[in-house]
């Protein structure tokens, strides 16, 4: 059994939930960490450009289960108008263009949660809580 996405969006909105459509890019190394590390600076520049364009919602690496190492996996949450557009954005990542990583994209409806930002006027620093 499945439920149409439109029904879930309707229920979400009727109950006062956010119902914000985003897309999650799961990215995984293809040939080990060597090729990933070779493209890391280009990848980070690409990520920064997505952020500057307002496309990126959040991104970062997935640690190993012991939380002590990185094996090359990551996740990027982006704003797009469709799954096809989200895939096209992900395909432009230098990691994916070079073949260092492969990716999958999943639609994600953000409904619940809280973001708290603490802004310090002195020193112009902030904390994400």
Residue 69, domain CATH: 3.30.70.1060
Tell me the pTM: 0.91
CB atoms within 10 A of CB 73: 15
Give how many domains the chain has, as a whole number: 1
Question: What is the Cα gyration radius of the chain?
Answer: 17
What is the per-residue pLDDT across 4-38, written as a single tens digit (0 to 9) for each?
Answer: 999 999 999 999 999 999 999 999 999 999 999 99
Q: Dump strand ranges (E) for 79-116.
A: 101-110
DSSP 49: H
What is the per-residue pLDDT across 68-124, written as a single tens digit (0 to 9) for each?
Answer: 999 999 999 999 999 999 999 999 999 999 999 999 999 999 999 998 988 888 878
The domain of 123 spans: 5-128
Q: In degrees rounded to 5, what are phi and psi of residue 114?
A: -145, 140
Which letter, b or e, does each residue of 45-63 get, where b requires 16 or more Cβ atoms within 10 Å of its Cβ? Answer: ebbeebeeeebbbebeeee
């Amino acid at each position: 059994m499945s439920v149409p996405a439109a029904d879930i969006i309707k229920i979400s909105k009727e109950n006062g939930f956010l119902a914000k459509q985003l897309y999650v890019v799961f990215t995984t190394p293809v040939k080990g960490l060597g090729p990933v590390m070779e493209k890391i600076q280009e990848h980070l520049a690409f990520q920064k450009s997505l952020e500057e364009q307002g496309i990126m919602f959040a991104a970062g690496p997935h640690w190993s289960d012991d939380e002590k190492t990185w094996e090359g996996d990551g996740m990027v949450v982006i704003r797009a108008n469709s799954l096809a557009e989200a895939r096209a954005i992900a395909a432009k990542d230098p990691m994916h263009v070079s073949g260092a990583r492969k990716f999958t994209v999943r639609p994600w409806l953000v409904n619940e949660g809280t973001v708290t930002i603490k802004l310090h006027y002195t020193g112009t620093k902030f904390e994400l809580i």
